[in-house]
Amino acid sequence: MLFTSPHARPRYTRLTGSSDALALAQLAKKAAPLVVISANALEAQRLVAEIPFFAPDLRVHLLPDWETLPYDQFSPHQDLISERLATLHHVRSQSCDVLVVPVTTALYPLPPVEYLAAYTFFLKRGEKLDLPGLREQMTFAGYSHVQQVLSPGEFCVRGGIIDLFAMGSVLPYRIDLFDDEIETIATFDVDTQRTLYPVPEIRLLPAREFPLDEKSQAHFRQRFRDSFEGDPSKSRIYKEVSRGNAPAGIEYYLPLFFERTATLFDYLPKKATLCLHGKVDEAIQQFGVEAASRYNLLRGDPQHPLLPLRELFMDSEAFFIALKAFARLDILPSPEEALAARSQQGSGNENAPKNLALCATAALPNIAVNRHAEIPTQAFAQFLEGFDGRTLLLADSLGRREIMAGFLLEYGLKAEICDDYAVFLNSRKRFMLCVGPLQYGFLLPDEKLAIVTETELYAAQPRSRAARAAKKSNIEGMLRDLSELKVGDPVVHEQHGIARYRGLVNLDLGEGEGEYLLLEYAGSDKLYVPVSQLYVIGRYSGGAADTAPLHKLGSGAWDKAKRRALQQVRDTAAELLNIYAQRATRKGHAFKLTARDYEEFAAGFGFEETPDQAAAISAVLDDLQSG
């Protein structure tokens, strides 16, 4: 057990590598539900991936961010809303053992707990169903009636068949009616429309984080008039809500739909244990500065009047006051902070914290493979020989596991294959190899265990899933230099679609002037993109530049275009599969792969391969060996 401090509000540090995920998994088994509030979203995603490796039985959920900037005039993707509502439901129904939340997400308002309960309902096989009543209930819950169900929050009625994509569900459902009775409920595939497997019941969460029935519209209009001066009929937001529509960016007017919004802490059970992971206070302060900058930049638009910061976001003081109602512990990012505080204690400083504890973990020595040495694995072999304990080596995937096993075996290092962390703990083998999601390794001196990942073994070529995912495969479509852009050129923003580049502008957001690309969309909508985010913009290559069709911000047309393109890709893939199936019937020569020679050859490539390159290399190797 890594967390052993007797203090009521302990603070831990020296959690090396991914040992924080192990410590949190151990704690969650004893003190569930555990709520981890991380300083940034990347750390939150890492913990969500790594904690189940150490404790697969734990129900771990992430409360994702809206993934929009404060006061953006864009709405979050429906998949994000679906995941958020599903996570909140799991928390309220006590079916969540570990909740991981980026701190910026915890500062945003949430719908009242009563709203989620009032608009959640179930459909069970064999029960009677009032179809007109269901239509009305689905509409009140925010679901959209469409011709074909494609994304969460949609439903379609065709005679005695109802297709619906429930929020929080991975797959949509198809309900077959026999007269007014639910005869069957089954999941189906969005692309093929084929039924997959039956289910006994489905849970329907609201499709939005706010209601849009007549009562809610009237409440919104009243609160809007009370909050903003001037003629409300001049505001597009006001007019759209009055028509029963949800305009883009409506989420930043959430408090106007309710007498009182909730916070994350209102959803948590009283027995929850909260863990602040990293420099949370600094992250809150930084978010406050950025939100204030956005507010000062955008508040002059009468079409989109903005709610003040204090009415929309929690500040640092309110956040830490809310924490006091729960058991709490902190994880500090570096041992140096703890050692400095301890030295202050020793010098008689009464104000220095006395609840700091150093966890029993340590960093791994340099064990990286040296491909230019006669024995590339010499450092790793010396570590295994000198370490008085057991070692678990983690590979990124099953394919990597086999390559690594073969490579190590060439130099006399035989690793026993194991399925998971529990098997490793219950075994007595000194050296085992497993597939795992951990990004970084660490030592547990007390348990005499070493966890090694590819990050340490291949230190010269760090392997990071996050870095790979961030890389874009369409290199030719990426704009590498502003000189490639001319005013009036059509460009493609990866999230918002086709626009025209209108030049560079200088904007002061409160932290000094910065350069932004001005993109103009249909309807003269404007989007300012920081020069530092140039990678999200690509060339338009769909035809003549003068006739490029511009998208309208927030209309959803770009998402539909991407879905159509995906369907065409699937059709092309089907043709390629047919070609490769014919090729597979022909027998060729099977080449033998020598892991050492290949690894030495690959080491000469001075760059980290892109996802497309890695996939192509793997496919070629498999093809050469298969014959």
> In three state form, how does the secondary structure of 472-515 look?
CCCCCCECCCHHHCCCCCEEEECCCEEEEEEEEEEEECCCCEEE
DSSP conformation class of 362: B
281 vs 261: CA distance, rounded Å: 23
Q: What is the CATH number of the domain that holds 145?
A: 3.30.2060.10
Q: What is the pLDDT of residue 511?
A: 59
* Residue pointed to by tokens 């190899």: 433
Q: Average per-residue pLDDT in the chain?
A: 85
Question: Helices 41-54 and 19-30 meet at what angle, rounded to 10?
Answer: 60
Band of residue 379 on the pLDDT scale cut at 50, 70, 90: very high
Q: Which two tokens stand for residue 331?
A: 């994880």
430 vs 384: CA distance, rounded Å: 8
Which of 2-11, 158-167, 289-298, 602-611 is predicted least confidently? 602-611
> Does one domain contain both 512 and 390?
no
> Does one domain contain both 242 and 391?
no
Q: What is the pLDDT of residue 516?
A: 84
> Does one domain contain both 131 and 194?
yes
Band of residue 464 on the pLDDT scale cut at 50, 70, 90: very low
Residue 71's identity, in one-letter code, is Y
87 vs 205: CA distance, rounded Å: 11
Q: What is the pLDDT of residue 515?
A: 80
Q: Is the pLDDT of residue 605 over 80?
A: no
> Does one domain contain both 155 and 231?
no
Q: What is the pLDDT of residue 495?
A: 84
Examine residue 388 and state whether it is found in any structural domain, yes or no.
yes
73 vs 248: CA distance, rounded Å: 6
Q: Which two tokens stand for residue 250?
A: 């409506």
Range of the structural domain that residue 519 is part of: 482-555
Q: Which two tokens stand for residue 90?
A: 């799991």
- Domain C-terminal end among 468, 500, 532: 468
Q: Which residues, including other chains, have CB under 8 Å from residue 294's CB and lie 6 or more apart? A: 69, 70, 71, 509
Band of residue 104 on the pLDDT scale cut at 50, 70, 90: very high
Q: Which two tokens stand for residue 299?
A: 């508040």
Residue 184 has φ and ψ, to the nearest 5°, of -140, 150
Examine residue 460 and state whether it is found in any structural domain, yes or no.
yes
Question: How many structural domains comprise the chain?
Answer: 4
442 vs 605: CA distance, rounded Å: 28
Q: Is the pLDDT of residue 335 over 70?
A: no
105 vs 40: CA distance, rounded Å: 9
More confident residue, 594 or 115: 115
Q: Is the pLDDT of residue 145 over 80?
A: yes
Q: Which two tokens stand for residue 181?
A: 């009775």
The 10s digit of each residue's pLDDT in 389-429 is 999 999 988 888 888 888 899 889 999 999 999 999 999 99
> pLDDT exceeding 70 applies to what percent of the chain?
91
Q: Is the pLDDT of residue 115 over 60?
A: yes
Q: What is the CATH number of the domain that holds 548?
A: 2.40.10.170
Q: What is the CATH number of the domain that holds 301?
A: 3.40.50.11180
Residue 32's identity, in one-letter code, is A
> Does one domain contain both 406 and 538?
no
Q: How many of the other CB atoms lie within 10 Å of CB of 416? A: 14
CB 432 within 8 A of CB 424: yes
* Residue pointed to by tokens 């041992």: 335
Average pLDDT over residues 514-530: 86
Examine residue 350 and state whether it is found in any structural domain, yes or no.
no
289 vs 482: CA distance, rounded Å: 29
Examine residue 236 and state whether it is found in any structural domain, yes or no.
yes
> Does one domain contain both 501 and 541?
yes
Q: How many of the other CB atoms lie within 10 Å of CB of 184? A: 14
22 vs 1: CA distance, rounded Å: 9
Average pLDDT over residues 461-486: 48
Band of residue 435 on the pLDDT scale cut at 50, 70, 90: very high
212 vs 141: CA distance, rounded Å: 8
Give the CA dihedral 543, 548, 554, 556, nearest 10 degrees: -40
> pLDDT exceeding 90 applies to what percent of the chain?
39
Q: What is the CATH number of the domain that holds 442?
A: 3.40.50.11140
> Does one domain contain both 133 and 112?
no
Q: Which two tokens stand for residue 104?
A: 């910026």
> Does one domain contain both 128 and 112?
no
Q: Is the pLDDT of residue 346 over 80?
A: no
> Does one domain contain both 494 and 443?
no
The 10s digit of each residue's pLDDT in 181-211 is 999 999 998 888 888 899 999 888 888 889 8
Residue 538, SS3 per DSSP: strand
Q: Strands 34-38 and 98-102, how do they pair?
A: parallel
Q: Is the pLDDT of residue 474 over 50?
A: no
Residue 51, SS3 per DSSP: helix
The 10s digit of each residue's pLDDT in 480-492 is 445 567 888 899 9
> Does one domain contain both 497 and 520?
yes
Q: Is the pLDDT of residue 566 over 70?
A: yes
Average pLDDT over residues 511-522: 80
CB 112 within 8 A of CB 260: yes
Q: What is the pLDDT of residue 481?
A: 47
Band of residue 459 on the pLDDT scale cut at 50, 70, 90: confident
Dump the DSSP string for 180-221: TEEEEEEEE-TTT--EEEE-SEEEE--SSSS--SHHHHHHHH
More confident residue, 296 or 302: 296
Stated as kind and residue range, the H or E segment containing 577 is helix 557-584
Q: Is the pLDDT of residue 319 over 80?
A: yes
Q: What is the pLDDT of residue 517?
A: 86
Average pLDDT over residues 36-53: 94
Examine residue 348 and state whether it is found in any structural domain, yes or no.
no
**Cα 69 to the center of its chain, rounded Å:** 16
The 10s digit of each residue's pLDDT in 267-297 is 999 999 999 999 999 999 999 999 999 999 8
Cross-strand partners of 331 = 12, 277
- Domain C-terminal end among 496, 530, 555: 555
Examine residue 273 and state whether it is found in any structural domain, yes or no.
no
> Does one domain contain both 112 and 239?
yes
Examine residue 561 and state whether it is found in any structural domain, yes or no.
no
Residue 589, SS3 per DSSP: coil
Q: Is the pLDDT of residue 173 over 90?
A: yes
Average pLDDT over residues 1-24: 89
Q: What is the pLDDT of residue 353?
A: 59
- Domain C-terminal end among 525, 555, 585: 555
367 vs 459: CA distance, rounded Å: 8
Residue 186's identity, in one-letter code, is A
Which of 21-25, 36-40, 186-190, 344-348 is predicted least confidently? 344-348
Band of residue 336 on the pLDDT scale cut at 50, 70, 90: low
> Does one domain contain both 408 and 493?
no
Examine residue 247 and state whether it is found in any structural domain, yes or no.
yes
More confident residue, 268 or 606: 268
